[in-house]
Amino acid sequence: MKNEHIFDLVKADEEEDRELLKESPLPKISTTKIAKTAYHLWLTSEIKEASNYDHWYETLLKATPEDVVAFHINSPGGYLDTTLQLCDAIQTTPANTVAFIEGGCCSGASMIAMCVDRVEMGKFSYIMIHTGSGGEIGKFRNLVESASFREKWWHDIMHDVYEGFCTKEEIEEILTGRDLWIDAEESMKRFKRRNDILDARERTRENEMKKTTKLIKKALSNSGLDISKLAFQIRSQN
């Protein structure tokens, strides 16, 4: 998890931001300066073409580890490719990310919520998860190849995105057509379980890295090499 203590910064001046942004036809973004910078992004309609969110990608790219990017979500979902690009941008930003679910968080919007560091939900908000839908027109052979590829591709995405929030059995049921509806209280329990799983995995990874580093240092020491000289040579080459 990232810097837990700075998430509370994002709630300041939200009402003022909302008034200023009511008339904007584009996906909304504003900034609040409170010691750190908190960027507020409103996802309150259908997720459209990826180009509509270029300024969101830029915000996530330029944000620093001291910043917070807050998503305010009340959305039925929308374009899958746009959703996946947003998920990737959220997972790779150095900023701390939080989602405030303030109504429905459905389909692709729920995938975005799974990618942030922390989630807060309104009392009457909810999450809905379902499988993808769509269609293609083209040569039969190409349609078969596309369907074969997408079946495995989508299976892997669903298990990756919803790991820890849904059970494996639930994900398989969703892939076969089930719509999973979850209220705020149950969702928050699931988010906690998911965070616990991911945190434990990260601690294991860090411990393995430390063990590997010790083994490398020991091997170098036993080889008789001058470690400081070797490190200097590596830095010089870079």
- Contacts of 159-164 with CB under 8 Å at 24 or more apart are 161/87, 161/111, 161/114, 161/115, 162/114, 162/129, 163/194, 163/197, 164/190, 164/193, 164/194, 164/195, 164/196, 164/197, 164/198
Q: What are 118-149's pLDDT values in tens digits?
A: 999 999 999 999 998 776 777 888 878 888 88
Residue 185 lies in domain: 4-130+179-202
| Mean model confidence pLDDT for the chain | 85
Statement: residue 57 has pLDDT above 80: yes
Question: What pLDDT does residue 224 have?
Answer: 66
The pLDDT of residue 207 is: 87
Whether 234 has a pLDDT exceeding 50, the answer reads: yes
Q: How is 185-209 classified by DSSP, letter by letter?
A: HHHHHHHHHHHHHHHHHHHHHHHHH
Let me know if residue 188 belongs to a domain. Answer: yes
Kindly state the DSSP code that residue 94 receives in the 8-state scheme.
Answer: S
pLDDT in tens, 170-218: 999 999 999 999 999 999 999 999 999 888 888 888 888 888 887 777 7
Residue 143 lies in a domain: no
Domain tally, the chain: 1
pLDDT in the model for residue 185: 97
Greater model confidence, 42 or 139: 42
CATH of the domain at 9: 3.90.226.10
Check residue 35 and give its pLDDT. Answer: 40
Q: Is 225 inside a domain boundary?
A: no
What average pLDDT score do residues 40-45 get?
96
